[in-house]
Amino acid sequence: QAAPAEAALQPLLAEGVDASLQRQARELLGLSALASGAGERAVVALQQAFADAEPAERPRLAYALGEALASVQRWQEAVAAYGE
């Protein structure tokens, strides 16, 4: 299930696409990777989304990033992400 979602979202990461839409696509890619058990891919996508996040998006993304980090047993980083 993750592969079709990732394929559909990839064009939204292209140069020239609205930054807000790119952030949302990265978040969805991260959540999709996390749900499919691809924790490291989830961490990368969610870290990128978090780095560019608007203040209102940060709590939601911090939680998702914490979950992704925990899924790959990066416990200290997960705790720090939850605290963001």
Residue 10 has pLDDT above 90, yes or no: no
- The structure tokens listed for 52 are 């560019």
Q: What is the DSSP string of the chain?
A: -HHHHHHHHGGGGSTTS-HHHHHHHHHHHHHHHHHTT-HHHHHHHHHHHHHT--TTTHHHHHHHHHHHHHHTT-HHHHHHHHT-
Supply the pLDDT for residue 84.
79
Residue 27 pLDDT class (50, 70, 90 cuts): very high
What are the residues whose beta carbons fall under 8 Å from the beta carbon of 62, sequence distance 6 or more? 50, 81, 82, 83, 84
Over residues 35-78, the pLDDT tens digits come to: 999 999 999 999 999 998 999 999 999 999 999 999 999 999 99
Q: Is the pLDDT score of 1 beyond 70?
A: no
**Cβ(58)–Cβ(50) below 8 Å:** yes
- pLDDT of 2 above 70: no
Q: What is the residue type of 70?
A: A
Residue scoring higher pLDDT (2 or 27): 27
